[in-house]
Structure 1
Amino acid sequence: MTTDIDPSRTAEEPTSPWLEKLGPGLVTGAADDDPSGIATYSQAGAAFGYNLLWTLLLTYPLMVAIQLVSARIGRVSGHGLATNLRRHYPLPLLYGAVTLLLVANTINIAADLTAMGAAVNLLVGGPTRLYTILLAAASLALQVFVPYRRYVRVLKWLTLALLAYVGVVFAVGIPWPTVALRTVLPHLSWSGSYATTIVAVFGTTISPYLFFWQASQEVEEINAAPGALALKKAPSQGTRQLNRIGIDTWTGMAFSNLIAFFIMLTTAATLNAHGINDIQTSSQAAAALKPIAGRFAFLLFSFGIVGTGLLALPVLAGSAAYAMAGTFRWKNSLELEPGLAKRFYGIIIAATVIGLALGLTSIDPIKALYWSAVINGVTSVPIMALMMRMASHPRIMGEFRIRSSLRIAGWTATGVMAIAVSAMFVIFALT
């Protein structure tokens, strides 16, 4: 045991800079604000004004809790969620969860690529389909041919694209007293569209692909750092790594929810205030901003769509690949050469290519996207419950099984998601 632990003491500096502590959590949080998420938040702001801003105050602590749980499972066990599900639970549960994840992720990829191509068209004109194909090819090339340790730095820098949505807020007039009041005391609506939008916001913010990705990225961090081991095998690394995971996750999810808040706020203050209530795509939201908020706001919003899409595509395709690899015991790591993990990279390529094909057909990816967010919300509930059971299981987590506050917070997040989904079904049944 001593020889296993000591190398990590030289590999990990106890006084590493704060920025160096940011990794899987930051990328996971930022990837949550992908073009499909932007579309959902824009729809919520345009349709209901400031009256859904409260959802993002609620999703932040809930998102932190469940992402902390997923990160701990990966770091402590040394395995992703799918592998742990396969080892400890009935296979039908695993197959059902992974199938739903694949479907939702592929639809998200289709919508994201379509939105990115449309955003480039808005910025420079030209053939939208060609831009969509080129963006898909560029994303695939980065994922397949750039090693994880170099690629994760690219992903970290891409998170800066989200700051565009902070800039948009300062380019438009915001009635801050009204915003504060409506955030705390919103006008609630007993309607199917209101309830469905809440579930869509929750589903796009607290999504299964984020659980699978962050857990797997913690495993990648173990593989990439000399001397690092799963915490079950090296308990002495626990304090430092759990502190890092906490800082990383709280920061990443704060970034995610803050940007989502700004997107919803921008569209509420501009589109909703001018009677534009039906926004179907993120690029449509960007185009609608131009005559209302000016060219600067339009440019920031459009650039943000492209940047966040490039950040989100590897997370969507990668989480699908990690889930499939864990299910069928394939070699999997973004550190491996493609020839050493052909099936893993094959899923990344297949998910991206199928998503691209869907986006280029006459299928309406936006309606499918909105309902995929709802499906994500529904699917999240059983997966979150399974994660909470895994994180509390001594055979999986050993001495690092979660207790007290994190357990309460995680089950609270699971319960709130279940209530939101149940409320949606009840309202639909009554209306």
Structure 2
Amino acid sequence: MPKNNLDSKTVQSALDALSRQPRGSRLTRVLPFLGPAFIASVAYVDPGNFATNIQGGAQFGYLLLWVIIASNLIAMLIQTLSAKLGLATGHNLAEHCRLHFPKPVSLGMWLIMEAVAMATDLAEFMGAALGFQLLFGIPLLAGALLTAVTTIGILGMERFGFRPLEAVISAMVAVIALCYVAEIFIVKPNWSDIAAHVVRPGFSGSESVLLATGIIGATVMPHAIFLHSSLMQGRIVVKDRKKLRTLFRYEIMDVVIAMGIASFVNMSMLIMAAATFYATGKTSVATIEEAYRTLEPLLGPAAKFIFGVSLLFSGLSSSSVGTSAGQVIMQGFIQRHIALWIRRIITMAPSLFVIAMGFDPTRTLVISQVVLSFGLPFAIIPLVMFTRRADIMGDLVNRRTTTMFAGFAAAVIVALNIYLLYTTFTG
């Protein structure tokens, strides 16, 4: 049941939109369904993306823009399947794994996902702490503690219902997007080159292949897949078959809009790096701190400040979403629920240790993405398995072509992550 008046209004507006004679304009009918995908999309604009996109733009200009487009199209498909699973069954992905897999397999998957949750926190904590340091001169360790407190405050809004939290996270995503709109206007990129590389695949040596692998391989995040299926549970419940299909179509719009914004942000990161660093011959920019320091002499203090704000909001929003995903994973796999602040302490402990030891922030972000790669097959493969089964999905079971595309996308992502792991460990 809705927890507050705002939730009640949202549910009622959604039910009105699903009725045979919906009221209001098409835009007002869509609004009640927007939100879950925006929360999940935060994983696609987290601090780990900053390092990869900046490095790709600085070294190869606009060359790898098509990779971002391709990876986000795959992400749209995967997140749509995740939303559909929760919508059709009333259970999230972690619960389905517990219900349909042998107990030892389910427990093993839970342990892997807990490691993934800690790796996720590591990247997000480091990004937010780095944002605090770059903008306000706050030491990394103090910035990490400030991030923990802010995250608990953001997630505390859940007690007021699903809509306030969706609104806050969506607003933070909007801030990140607006920051990059401003960056694009400041850097004045070459739009004809951008248009060409968006639709024309290409590489320039083995290093560009490796960076492309990193962009695609790190695009779909395991915790976002688990979380999105949970966000759809009980949000808007309908039993009528026709209304259920209509509801799913609205949720597809939610995914397309949210992931479209995430794609824009990722493209803008690469465009900013290409127009600023690659165009001026500074192709060796490889860290977030270096990019931040270099922006001011090249573009002025406004560009540097905007970049820092986007990094800070990225870290804070993704850290909040990561903690929420950790709760979903634990509750789904082993049916255990712990207090939010205890969960926060457990997952942030490795992050605080790494920061206290003084490890390089950008290198730490890269390593965290490698750990995430280990968990990715354990999210994507079960998702495709469950959504293709009519006995689980009912009327929303995948069409054969959908399963084929999803299976191919899963195989590509898993293969690229294996290649990324191989190249990381072999140098």
Taking structure 1 as the reference length, the TM-score comes to 0.84
- On the 8 A contact 2:130/2:312 being kept in 1, the answer is no
Aligned-residue offset at 1:307: 1.4
Q: Distance in 2 between matches of 1:195 and 1:374?
A: 17
- On the 8 A contact 2:180/2:265 being kept in 1, the answer is yes
The residue type equivalent to 2:347 in the other structure is: A
Alignment-derived partner of residue 167 in structure 2 = 153
Structure-2 change in CA distance of 1:82 and 1:141 (3 Å) = same
Deviations 1:183-234 (A, max 9, x none): 334541452x434322321233211111011111112xx1xx5xx43x6x65
- On the 8 A contact 1:70/1:211 being kept in 2, the answer is yes
Deviations 1:48-93 (A, max 9, x none): 3222111111112211111110111111111111110111123444
RMSD: 2.8
Deviations 1:15-38 (A, max 9, x none): 453333211112212342012222
Structure-2 change in CA distance of 1:264 and 1:85 (3 Å) = same
Alignment-derived partner of residue 328 in structure 1 = 334
Q: Distance in 2 between matches of 1:355 and 1:22?
A: 32
Alignment-derived partner of residue 279 in structure 2 = 273
Deviations 1:130-163 (A, max 9, x none): 2332122111132246424322221121111122
Q: Distance in 2 between matches of 1:317 and 1:9?
A: 29
Deviations 1:337-364 (A, max 9, x none): xxxx435663344213443343333344
- On the 8 A contact 1:30/1:159 being kept in 2, the answer is yes
- On the 8 A contact 1:317/1:352 being kept in 2, the answer is no
Unaligned runs of 5+ in 1: 1-7, 331-340
Aligned-residue offset at 1:382: 4.7
Helix, strand or coil: the match of 1:32?
A: helix
Alignment of 1:290-309 (within 5 A): 290-309=296-315
Alignment of 1:173-188 (within 5 A): 173-185=188-200, 187-188=202-203
Alignment-derived partner of residue 213 in structure 1 = 227
- On the 8 A contact 1:283/1:302 being kept in 2, the answer is no
Helix, strand or coil: the match of 2:91?
A: coil
Count the aligned residue pairs: 405
Alignment-derived partner of residue 337 in structure 1 = none
Alignment-derived partner of residue 362 in structure 1 = 358
Alignment-derived partner of residue 411 in structure 1 = 407
- On the 8 A contact 1:66/1:410 being kept in 2, the answer is yes
- On the 8 A contact 2:87/2:232 being kept in 1, the answer is yes
Alignment-derived partner of residue 182 in structure 2 = 167
Q: Distance in 1 between matches of 2:203 and 2:47?
A: 27
Q: Distance in 2 between matches of 1:272 and 1:414?
A: 33
Alignment-derived partner of residue 320 in structure 2 = 314
Q: Distance in 2 between matches of 1:41 and 1:10?
A: 39
Q: Distance in 1 between matches of 2:141 and 2:194?
A: 38
Identity of aligned residues (%): 22
The residue type equivalent to 1:180 in the other structure is: A
Alignment-derived partner of residue 66 in structure 2 = 54
The residue type equivalent to 2:193 in the other structure is: T
Moved more, 96-105 or 314-323: 96-105
Unaligned runs of 5+ in 2: 1-10, 23-27
Alignment of 1:16-35 (within 5 A): 16-35=28-47
Q: Distance in 1 between matches of 2:365 and 2:294?
A: 20
Structure-2 change in CA distance of 1:270 and 1:396 (3 Å) = same
Counterpart of 1:12 (choices 10, 15, 24) is 15
Alignment of 1:14-413 (within 5 A): 14=17, 15=22, 16-144=28-156, 146-147=158-159, 148-149=161-162, 150-162=164-176, 163-185=178-200, 187-191=202-206, 193-219=207-233, 222=234, 225=235, 228-229=236-237, 235=241, 237-330=243-336, 341-342=337-338, 346-377=342-373, 379-413=375-409
Aligned-residue offset at 1:101: 3.1
